[in-house]
Chain A
Amino acid sequence: AQKVTQAQTEISVVEKEDVTLDCVYETRDTTYYLFWYKQPPSGELVFLIRRNSFDEQNEISGRYSWNFQKSTSSFNFTITASQVVDSAVYFCALSESLANAGKSTFGDGTTLTVKP
C-alpha cells in the first residue's frame, strides 16, 4: 500500500526566510511518480512539480527547489526567500504510474503561513 507522510502540519515563517516542507513516502513499486501541489485559500489545487522514480536530480524553479532522495524515500520542497503570497496548504502526492496519476495518494498537507 502507498502512503505519504507530511509530518509538519503547520509552519509559520517571517517573510524572506527559507522554509523546507518535508515529504516521506512508502511504496512497493519500483516505478512511481511524486508530485507537489499548492492549495491557496481559494481552494484550487495548483500543480507545482512531478518527479519520476528514475530521476533523482534536484530541480530548481525560481525560488522553489525540490530534493528527491530515494535512499530515504523523501521528496522535500524548499521555498527560498519566502513571500506572503506563498501562504497556502502544500500537498505531496504519490502515484504508482503516470497513467494512474489520477489515483494519487496525497499526504495530509502542510499549512504554510508567511508573515510580513
Chain B
Amino acid sequence: DAGVTQSPTHLIKTRGQQVTLRCSPKSGHDTVSWYQQALGQGPQFIFQYYEEEERQRGNFPDRFSGHQFPNYSSELNVNALLLGDSALYLCASSLASIGIHEQYFGPGTRLTVT
C-alpha cells in the first residue's frame, strides 16, 4: 500500500520563475492538503482540494494555485517565485468521510529559489 508520494524531491528555481509540484495521495484517499514549511518553522496551511475543487485556503497569495485530478492526485503551482518561497512543501492526504485529522504526509519537496 503506497503512501503519499511527492515529486520532485528537490528543486532549484530562479526568482520570477514558475514551479509545479506534484502529489499522489495514499491509496483510497480523496482529499489533498498542501503546506509550506519554512526552515525552523512549523507547517503553514496553503489549501485543500476535494472533488477537484479548492475547499479551504490559508493566507497565501494568488500566486499559489492548485489542481486536483480525477485520480485524486494534485499539483501545487507557484508563479512569480520570490526568495521567500524557499521552503519544504508538504502534501497530506486523507479520506473525507473519516476526517482531515487522519492526515498522512508525504516526504515533501524542497524548493530553493535563488
Question: Residues of A at under 8 Å CB distance from B?
Answer: 4, 33, 35, 42-47, 50, 91, 93, 95, 98-104, 106-109
Contacts and interface: CB of A to CB of B under 8 A. Distances in A.
B100 A100 contact: yes
Given A101-B100, A102-B48, A45 B56 contact: no
A109 B88 CA distance: 15
A33 B101 contact: yes
A77 to B, nearest CB: 15
Interface of B: 4, 31, 33, 40-45, 48, 56, 58, 88, 90, 92, 94, 99-108
Contacts of A46: 105
A45 B105 CA distance: 6
A109 B92 CA distance: 18
Contact of B88 (A43, A50, A106): A43
A42 B108 CA distance: 9
A99 B42 contact: no
Contact of A108 (B33, B41, B48, B56): B41
Given A44-B108, A108-B40, A103 B56 contact: yes
Contacts of A93: 42
B106 A98 contact: no
B99 A109 contact: no
B101 to A, nearest CB: 4
Contacts of A91: 42-43
14 contacts: A35-B101, A42-B107, A43-B88, A43-B107, A44-B107, A45-B43, A45-B90, A101-B99, A102-B31, A102-B45, A102-B100, A103-B45, A108-B40, A108-B41
Nearest to A42: B107
